[in-house]
Copies of this chain bind each other. A is one copy, B any other.
Amino acid sequence: MSSDPITAALLVIGDEILSGRTKDKNIGYIAEYLTAIGIDLREVRVVPDVEAEIIAALDAVRARYTYVFTTGGIGPTHDDITADCVAKAFGVSIDVDPRARAMLLERIPEADLNEARLRMARIPAGADLIANPVSKAPGFRIGNVIVMAGVPSIMQAMLDNVAPTLETGRKMLSVSIEAGLKEGDLGGPLGEIARAHPEVSIGSYPGYVDGRFQTTLVVRSREEGALAEAEQAVRRMIETIKAGKA
């Protein structure tokens, strides 16, 4: 386990997300998953199926974060260009990988292994494969970039397979407190608590449920002691405000 935070970005690749045709289900899943294993997701970008855009986004984030995860664009059709873009970004060649081809043959009869299906075995030189128990066509990892499918069930299986190989940091601890108050009534004192506890991050999340505004306060820290102190301060604040209003 690293003592420095382990960070990540996610690139969601696909015109269908940007047109609204497909509603992304991977961002929230990956965010929650990485948080749980001690990797901080710091940025997400959704980019179209355009080579220059994918490469520019890849280069921008892979230099900044420990890991970059991508979803989408590794299927057998002409609009699946992620693997080629990753190869270009890394300046390596890409061709049908015998290991990936063997994986495809576990599910696909050799007679059906046409050029389109073989696209799914095109892997940048030097990459490690990520097994896909659902449909066999693998994801891959090259450098700090982890390339996964866009179909949620397949992406999730790939994430399970690659996660044990990743470096992780101290987990972010968090406590969630339902304030039972409006944000406007607690914003002032909460800000003071946030300033007095710079080693924790305090978020205030309003919701609008059954015509009423609710506020959930989330206190986060990697330090158990600091978290407990800030949590107590927040709980005392809530009691004080409620007593004042009663």
Q: Measuring CB to CB, which residues of chain A are less than 8 angstroms from any residue of chain B?
A: 12, 14-24, 27-35, 40-49, 53, 75-80, 108, 112, 114-117, 119-120, 134-135, 151, 153-154, 172, 174, 176, 183-188, 190-191, 194-195, 201-208, 213, 218, 220
- CB nearest neighbor in B for A77: B204
Contacts of A20 in B (CB 8 A): 28-35, 41
**Minimum C-beta distance from A168 to chain B (A):** 15
Q: Are B191 and A19 in contact (CB under 8 A)?
A: no
Contacts of A218 in B (CB 8 A): 16, 21
With contact pairs A27-B17, A188-B116, A208-B151 given, residues A76 and B22 touching in the complex (Cβ less than 8 Å) = no
Q: What is the CA–CA distance of A185 and B75 in the complex, to the nearest angstrom?
A: 12
**Minimum C-beta distance from A20 to chain B (A):** 3
Cβ-defined partner of A22 (8 Å) among B18, B80, B205? B205
Q: Are B18 and A41 in contact (CB under 8 A)?
A: yes
Cβ-defined partner of A207 (8 Å) among B31, B33, B114, B151? B151
Contacts of A201 in B (CB 8 A): 15
Cβ-defined partner of A190 (8 Å) among B24, B78, B183, B202? B78
Top 3 nearest A-B pairs by Cβ distance? Answer: A116-B187, A20-B32, A20-B31
- CB nearest neighbor in B for A25: B23
Q: Are A23 and B19 in contact (CB under 8 A)?
A: no
Cβ-defined partner of A43 (8 Å) among B23, B46, B206? B46
Contacts of A119 in B (CB 8 A): 187
**Minimum C-beta distance from A16 to chain B (A):** 6
**Minimum C-beta distance from A108 to chain B (A):** 7
- CB nearest neighbor in B for A176: B21
Q: Are A183 and B24 in contact (CB under 8 A)?
A: no
Q: Are B77 and A187 in contact (CB under 8 A)?
A: yes
Q: Are A194 and B114 in contact (CB under 8 A)?
A: no
Q: What is the CA–CA distance of A44 and B206 in the complex, to the nearest angstrom?
A: 23
Q: Are B44 and A31 in contact (CB under 8 A)?
A: no
- CB nearest neighbor in B for A40: B18
Q: Are A78 and B153 in contact (CB under 8 A)?
A: no
Interface centre among A17, A154, A176 (most CB of B within 10 A): A17
Contacts of A190 in B (CB 8 A): 77-78, 116
